[in-house]
Amino acid sequence: MSGSTKKDTVSGVQGALHTKGGDIVDANGKKVVLTGVNWFGLETGTFAPHGLWTRNLDSMVEQMVDTGFNTLRLPYSNELFDAKSKPNGIDFKQNPDLKGLNGLQIMDKVVDSATKRGMMVILDQHRPDQYGQSELWYTEKVPESKWLSDWKMLAERYKNNDKVIGADLHNEPRGQATWGDGNPKTDWKMASEKAGNTIHSVNPDWLIFVEGNDNYKNETTWWGGELRGVKDHPVKLKEANKVVYSAHDYGPGVYNQNWFMDKDFPNNMPAFWDKHWGFVKKENIAPVLLGEFGGRKSAGKSTEAVWQQSLMQYLKKNGMSYTYWCWNPDSGDTGGVLQNDWKTLDQGKKDLLSVYQERLPEAKKTADSSQR
């Protein structure tokens, strides 16, 4: 694999990843835990990650590594790849190498910047277009055939970079999305198998991240947060040991669910997480990535802060992977790891996340020297 030797020494992860029971492991069988962050923008009308209007791309990625993140979940929309989609909201004085590039070429730059610093990258089909998310993996304007062909194109494009570790097939299936009922129009499990096998036809190395839906057996939870269907209807691919299930979980700042008002809160939460998605790892069925969670309040005794603190302890205790939502301060209901100046870290979130991070070796050295 091109350039892999140099990258391997940076991150300590050797070759392509696969799954073993509830763990992600590298080519040598070494356990790999993803503790990452989301950086959005490529899926919006800027067709570029947000914040490049005020900062240089590489400096942003370096700060992510310094903050302790080893993985970047990178949302995009299928509209990004249309010829008419022109990247904007970029200060070209600070990012001269991005001038004149299309959306896919900017994605290349982000991927290159992250992976050469040792970060692993998960590509996330977040929306069909810049205007909003969709319940299903296809819409009238973005048919299933385009969803599949775009995934095949990306899998082919990044197959020589072994730090691009996989595909989060569709963000937050919900509403009409079913699991395991065999209806080709709505069965998300079936669609995931089709996409996973399509990707593996050109790039068998990738992990396939399959999010939950939001409803199973008449019980509803967060969009993308319901994995109970896995028990009866696991995703089966031609390439064995490549499925990682993913859930999203939020606090009362997003929506005040009844479990936050339980008299036993927060002690009721681990059983809730176990039931809806945690069991997949705990019962050794497959690994789980908590692909999104976050909230404005991370320190103190508010319900949201206590929920975030409890969730971090749960992830740590069970050795589960995560990508925090999000790096961006401009996420309306959660805020970000960065404050509104796009430079200063939110200290509460930094402290929250530092409880459980698998820092890259280079970041570890920096952190150790700064503590002397």
**Which residue bears the tokens 């993996």?**
137
CA-only gyration radius of the chain, Å: 19
Longest dimension (CA), the chain: 60
Q: Closest Cα to residue 143, out of 129, 126, 158?
A: 129
3-state SS record for 46-90: CCCCCCCCCCCHHHHHHHHHHCCCCEEEEEEEHHHHCCCCCCCCC
Asked if residue 290 lies in contact with residue 269, where contact means CB atoms within 8 angstroms, the answer is: no
Q: Closest Cα to residue 278, out of 334, 214, 231?
A: 231
Rounded-to-integer distance, Cα 134 and Cα 116, Å: 33
Rounded-to-integer distance, Cα 38 and Cα 208, Å: 17
211 is a catalytic site residue: no
C-alpha atoms less than 13 angstroms from C-alpha of 248 in its C-beta half-sphere: 24
Rounded-to-integer distance, Cα 289 and Cα 209, Å: 8
Q: Indicate which residue of 43, 79, 172, 211 is catalytic.
A: 172
135 is a catalytic site residue: no
Dihedral over alpha carbons 86, 88, 94, 95 (to 10 degrees): -20
- Please count the other Cβ atoms lying within 10 Å of the Cβ belonging to residue 41: 24
**Which residue bears the tokens 């009308």?**
45
C-alpha atoms less than 13 angstroms from C-alpha of 103 in its C-beta half-sphere: 28
Q: Indicate which residue of 193, 226, 239, 292 is catalytic.
A: 292
Active site residues: 172, 292
